[in-house]
Amino acid sequence: MQISGARVLITGAGGGIGASLAVELARRGATELVLVDRDSAALEKMGGNGVKRHVVDVTDGKAVSAFVEKLGGVDLLVNGAGISVPGRFEALSLESIERTLDVNLGAAVRLTRLVLPKMPRGACIVNIASASGLMAPGGLAAY
């Protein structure tokens, strides 16, 4: 896929891999970066030409649907939103485990289903995941 001239949507763009990827894609000539994160302060740090920042909780189905409705098509979707809740599995609340699953997996599924019909032929989807998903390290079982 050619990055130069591409319109890119990145979730989890306020920090970590998402923020680094946004900087690199801008450097490689992406025309428009649509950056999504739930942290408005982190998003405000992301700037530059062609950057559009949107504060959206990717686990809020109605908010995501409304956002995608106005979005239009993108050439590259990067599902990068993710969280980890440290602690022993049996000590974690069911709510925190379900939130982790929804941010790390459910949100990517939901967003992809909504954005895919608006993507042009040859567009790409990238799902950021961790090797920790294959074998959870001690203290991060929900992750």
Going 7 to 12 to 16 to 17, the CA torsion angle's sign is negative
Query: Any idea what DSSP says for residue 135?
Result: S
CA distance linking residue 25 with residue 21, whole number of Å: 6
CA distance linking residue 122 with residue 100, whole number of Å: 31
Is there a catalytic annotation at residue 143? Answer: yes
| SS3 labels along 15-75 | CHHHHHHHHHHHHCCCCEEEEEECCHHHHHCCCCCCEEEEECCCCCHHHHHHHHHHHCCCC
Q: Which of 11, 74, 75, 143 is catalytic?
A: 143
The number of angstroms, rounded, from the C-alpha of 107 to the middle of its chain's C-alpha atoms is 8
Catalytic residues: 143
